[in-house]
Amino acid sequence: MNKNLTKVSLSVEEIEQYNRNGFLLISNLISLGFLENIKINIKKVMSQMGRGIRENSYYKDSHLSELISDMTLHHMAGQLLDGKSSRYSSLLQLKKAKTGKFIFHRDNQYIKFDGPGLNFWFAITSTTSENGCLKVIPWSHVSIEKDVDDYEESEIISVPMNAGDCLVFNRLTLHGSGINETEYDRLGYSIEFHRNDVNAFNGKGWDLLVDKKPIEDKLNC
């Protein structure tokens, strides 16, 4: 039994929903006690911002490190990507109070994969329309020739989340987030995976990702 996460596997129905929509909301995936410990880790990071800390030093030997390396996530990624999978990167998602929206995009716009990848996006604090929750466009992962301007406003779905929830979305799914209009920071944490046969374009050619170390964690502020 995994003491940190409340699920050890995904159901057939959840896998079908992810494949159909391009995303899957998993409620209360992080256990309450583990979530509180992660919040403590992140508050320590935030207190050290601007003090010259190494970008990846905040998670070493921490509860965040446990989350990043959790083999249950690797298993779930493998279920959704239809094959053994590995972590590609992880990122602290900090949307500070009164800061702007993140434009709609596909993760594959930044680093191009030639095969499947996904993102586990964890709500560390509750996310709402007021503080800039994630927004997704269902089925956009199968219509990659279409951009956000090709969709009606009514086709965009806001995904408010309770602390501990996780939104898993396909690397090709269009997503973004709104403005944080509140007085409080919105905290999330994302962990990306790729299937082990996937290559990434390096600007000149293709690299087999499983032969590379995961990208060091950074702060997305």
Length of the chain: 221
Q: Is residue 139 part of a domain?
A: yes
**Per-position pLDDT tens, the chain of length 221:** 688 999 999 999 999 999 999 999 999 999 999 999 999 988 887 777 654 444 455 566 788 889 999 999 999 999 999 999 999 999 889 899 998 889 999 999 999 999 999 999 999 999 999 999 999 999 999 999 999 999 999 999 999 999 999 999 999 999 999 999 999 999 999 999 999 999 999 999 999 999 988 876 554 54
Residue type, 195: R
Say if CB 121 and CB 188 are below 8 A apart: yes
Cα 95-58-81 angle, rounded to 5 deg:
70
Sequence-distant (≥ 6) Cβ neighbours of residue 220 within 8 angstroms: 91, 92, 93, 94
Q: Is residue 186 part of a domain?
A: yes
Q: Is residue 165 part of a domain?
A: yes
Q: Is residue 7 part of a domain?
A: no
Q: How many helices (H) and strands (E) does the chain have?
A: 4, 12
Separation of alpha carbons 197 and 119, rounded Å: 17
Number of domains in the chain: 1
Mean pLDDT of the chain: 91
Q: Is residue 160 part of a domain?
A: yes
- At residue 112, the pLDDT reads 97
* pTM higher than the cut 0.85: yes
- At residue 51, the pLDDT reads 46
Domain of 205: which CATH number?
2.60.120.620
- At residue 58, the pLDDT reads 54
Domain residues for the domain of 44 are 12-220
Q: Is residue 6 part of a domain?
A: no
Q: Is residue 166 part of a domain?
A: yes
Q: Is residue 113 part of a domain?
A: yes
